[in-house]
Structure 1
Amino acid sequence: MLAECPDLWSGSFTVCFVAGSGRCSMNPIEVYKKLPRKNCGECPQKTCMAYALALIKGDATVEECPHTDEALRKDLSEYRGKDWRNTLIDTLKNDIKHIDFNAILSRLGGIDKDGKIMIKCLGTDYFIDRNGEITTQGHINPWIKILLLHYIKTGGVGEPTGEWVSFSELKSGMVKETSFRRDCEEPLRQLLDNNREEITLMIRRLGGREIHHPSADHAWKLYALPRVPVLILYRMEDEELNEYGESHVRILFDRSADRFLDVESLVFLLEGFIHIISRR
């Protein structure tokens, strides 16, 4: 049996092997040994080991390696895992088939485009039809599909209140607070410390605007989703402002954020934001 720890936006995975069962739980090193091990870079994976990992978790196909023959492909196909993300996407697609798009359009801040809902997420326009199919101009990561379908399924209630609260003040936020600080606030602090001007430019490209805030040297308001505004507060390193002299980042949400996404989805949404601006 495989246990997966995904880096949601980059697509990389840490794969842990649990004692258990049969061929499907084969160690990727054993799969790697079956490969030509040329590290040619001709498949979508960078190395043969990465290909072995991707094959086991269902992210790669046996046809992608150009240096395997029919016999080897048949052998490798027995180790290819099923990507559980696609199963979840199919479930969410089925769930939203029963939703009246006209009823939720304004609640989600979407726009009707020829019978599809257009939703802007982190600066990109996505189009979702009534069958849950999602299109955009570029590549769509499976995780963004899950996020958008979940946003539609939740449906939202009310409007943003204009009251900013910390992540821990949202429903069930205290349970995930440590993860949110580690995976969202701390990486953003490091990015701003290293290159504030460039990160500011990236935030603007995603639709964010810099605003004045009394408790921060720099503050940005960003709509990660149409009904999910985010406030980023950055306090620069200054011994007079912080007893340790360290910089500090806080990410605040509108009080209504948990009506549109649960806290796990909000963590993922902000991890996506960090991933995008770190690829500058």
Structure 2
Amino acid sequence: MKPAVTFKRSGPWHNAGALLSWFAVTLAVIAQITGGALPVYIGLIFFVLGLSHGAGDEQEDTLASFTLIHAIAYVLIGAAVAGLFLIEPLGGLALFLALSAWHFSRSDCRFDKVTRIAIAGLAVGGSALLRYSETATVLGFVAGEELPRNFLRFLALGGIVGGGFALYAFIKGLCGFGHAIVAGLSTAFLQPVLAVGLIFLIAHALPVQERQIAAYGWRRVVRAVALPTAIATLGALALAVAVAQGLLATQLAVALAFGMATPHMLTERLER
């Protein structure tokens, strides 16, 4: 088994990640000030930019490309989740958000566990807590129906938990507390899609990718994730173009997007 990787707070990969994070924060602020549909578009772009963090098969301290069998299983599971979204939108959304919270809190990005829980709670429920009406509109659009108030209140409870953990991480100076604070501020001041996209990118995807590069080297990471990332990115662009051209119903596109984002969370390493 490989020795544990020390996550350095300096060096080219950490510095590059920090630079990208601050660039993303600046872009998010500009988008929010500009208003209109730009915050939503930038938020969606942030999600696409973070696709590569889950594009490799990482198990038991190894990182490799997905095999054909894994790829087929991935697509089938994604299609099943997409089908659930279409048949029972509220159930599909609840499943996705629950898995997202679990995934954010467990994914190895070398943050303290308390910090990861804070980020998970804020990503899933921070906007429901601090920007209730906007979040209700966004999630209602995703589900294709008005959501029950108690559903949104339950999400807001997750935001309260996340905020509490973020405050504790800040007071104790735990690793990654700055990311948790930025996550909290994002949910308070940014449009929900933009806020969650920013949190996903800078407090989850980029830190995970930094840790992978530190552990395996950038060449190995690129070999493992390049093809799946390219396919996923092209798929996301194809969905966007199809919706824009009226070739695909928005709810079907949403179901496919959420469905295909789900399987990589199910492969979360369980040995930790």
Structure that is richer in strand per residue: 1
RCO greater where, 1 or 2, for CA within 8 Å and sep 6 or more? 2
Q: Do these two structures clear the TM 0.5 threshold for a shared fold by scoring above it?
A: no
Smaller-chain TM-score bracket: under 0.3
TM-score, with normalisation over the residues of structure 1? 0.25
